[in-house]
Homo-oligomer: A and B are copies of this chain.
């Protein structure tokens, strides 16, 4: 903000430029450019003189300037919810690997699940003229991106679709996964099943709730209002939801949790609970197999999610201009014990 009164600012730390190299080698600018970029058309002798000047001066090409002239920045932006969330780690890494394979750098940022911060970050990346953008949206209205997309910023949404605009999206089958997980609990004898999910603004939260509802309906089960809780994934809120569901006159005998953070909190609560409660959680979590009981989960493949999104992005960057696509990746139920606990009455 207030970086007003800086001195005669050392520019890039007073680095030598091609001009300096040219002067020292006694050649023209273009010749230096040729040597730096390994282009043909330089005699070995001239090349050597230039190389010596480069080494002596410690010259390193300023890609920032190069990029301005070339029109592509060879960088992409990835906006996710929280860099610290272990779920996004493999996704982030997968995007990076694809970017790297295409010679692009990755600019990263967290929206902190705040739509305004998401927009601010996305537009900052557009101002930097990233070639493309991969966004895990926090908000549900992305019309602010329309002029950018029209101007040529390739954009792929991942994990959650864009809101109110039509854009590429790579998603996990949230609805199908939640439906399968809930059906799994029903198959093990449960009739009163709770659902604790993320905020209703978030697409996946609604989809997973839908899957839960569908499975209950499939089995002819009516859902009690008290069995459903959507909200922030902060431990506090989740704990209260668990207490309410288990403390009711007709308590739930099983819980389906909407994502990894919710699951972790619920596992912690259930470990301290006196009677066994069944649990199936969306997202796999580390060490879930070593708990007693192991945690049964609906696993999604975060790395494939990221890789697929990045590949689609570079596909667009290569000129693909067909209709926006929506890729939905399957989930996988991993039974480890917690989801196979039977309700008290049925034992």
Query: Which residues in A have some Cβ–Cβ distance to B below 8 Å?
Result: 1, 9-15, 58, 60-65, 67-68, 71-73, 75, 82-86, 88-90, 92-94, 96, 100, 103, 105-110, 123-129, 147-148, 150-153, 264, 267-268, 271, 285-292, 303
Contact = CB atoms under 8 A, between A and B. Distances in A.
Given A85-B89, A264-B286, A12 B71 contact: yes
Contacts of A61: 127
Contact of A287 (B9, B75, B90, B291): B291
Q: How many copies does the complex hold?
A: 2
Given A93-B110, A127-B63, A58 B147 contact: yes
A128 B71 contact: no
Contacts of A67: 64
A249 B283 CA distance: 43
Nearest to A11: B71
Contacts of A124: 63, 105
9 contacts: A9-B71, A13-B152, A60-B148, A63-B129, A64-B73, A83-B93, A105-B107, A106-B107, A106-B109
A296 to B, nearest CB: 15
Contacts of A264: 286-287
Contacts of A92: 83-84, 108
B286 A151 contact: no
For the complex of A and B, the 5 pairs showing the least CB-CB separation, nearest first, are A13-B152, A11-B71, A84-B93, A83-B93, A58-B147
Contacts of A287: 264, 267, 285-288, 291
B60 A126 contact: yes
Nearest to A89: B84
A303 B83 CA distance: 11
Given A82-B93, A89-B89, A286-B285, A128 B105 contact: yes
Nearest to A1: B103
A62 B96 contact: no
A110 B96 contact: yes
Most B-side CB within 10 Å, residue of A123, A127, A148, A287: A287
Contacts of A88: 89
Given A105-B128, A268-B289, 17 more contacts: A12-B72, A13-B152, A58-B147, A58-B151, A60-B127, A62-B129, A64-B64, A64-B129, A83-B92, A84-B89, A86-B286, A89-B89, A96-B110, A105-B107, A108-B108, A267-B287, A291-B291
Nearest to A78: B108
A128 B267 CA distance: 46
A304 to B, nearest CB: 13
Nearest to A62: B129
Contacts of A152: 10, 12-15
Given A12-B152, A286-B287, A108 B107 contact: yes
Contacts of A93: 82-84, 110
Contact of A271 (B84, B90, B153, B290): B290
Nearest to A271: B290
